[in-house]
Amino acid sequence: MDLKWLVKSSLLVIMLVLIVSGCSISKEDAQQFASNSFASKLEQEAKSATHELDDISLYIPSYTTVEEIDEFNVLLERSNHILLLFLNDIVENKTKEGILETLLIEDDPFIFESGETTEGNLAYLVVTELEEDMYSVIVGYNGYKITTLSSLSDMNNISEMMFDIVRSIEEK
């Protein structure tokens, strides 16, 4: 066997292991990041609208397709995520139990964050584990809710984008 080939293949294997291990995130890290990110998002200003629908304007990230299903539901698609936006999700009870009851979630969620924005509007993030490395992610804000399925490694980026979308909604 050629020594150069052995050294090159060994380096390639080491690089692949480092890349794969660097891309993974622990459940504890994901929970901590979600908590910090949610607190930060509550204090940020809403993104400017980039898209118009019949009754609302909202921020839609680049490379996201939009399909208005009816006056209360919008389908968004971005890379490998399908997101459902609900435009009439009123949460009367602002407690954890009230939010989970409204969302029909019976078990303790993997992540639960709620609070009020600087404008005093209720916002929440609820993540439930469906199966190994598959999570239901729900972000709600001021009567709007968006939901998707995500892997643990994508969860925080997608939830931040979801929060930006629902926070930006303005009725015409």
Q: How would DSSP label each residue in 48-104?
A: PP-EE-SSEEE---TTEEEEEEETTEEEEEETTEEEEEES-------SHHHHHHHTT
Judged against a pLDDT cut of 90, whether residue 148 lies above it is answered with yes
Closest CA to 44 of 168, 155, 159: 168
Mean pLDDT of 10-32: 59
**Model pTM above 0.85:** no
Q: Which two tokens stand for residue 111?
A: 């992540």
Q: pLDDT tens-digit profile of 63-76?
A: 999 998 888 899 99
155: left (phi over 0), alpha (psi -120 to 50) or beta: alpha
Span of 9-18, 103-112, 124-133 with lowest mean pLDDT: 9-18
Phi–psi pair at 144, nearest 5 degrees? -120, 145
Domains of the chain listed by start with CATH number: 24-171 (2.60.120.1690)
Does 107 have pLDDT greater than 70? yes
- 21 or 69, higher pLDDT: 69
Q: Report percent pLDDT > 70 for the chain.
A: 87
- Would the pLDDT of 129 be above 90? yes
pLDDT of residue 19 exceeding 50, the answer is no
Supply the pLDDT for residue 93. 76
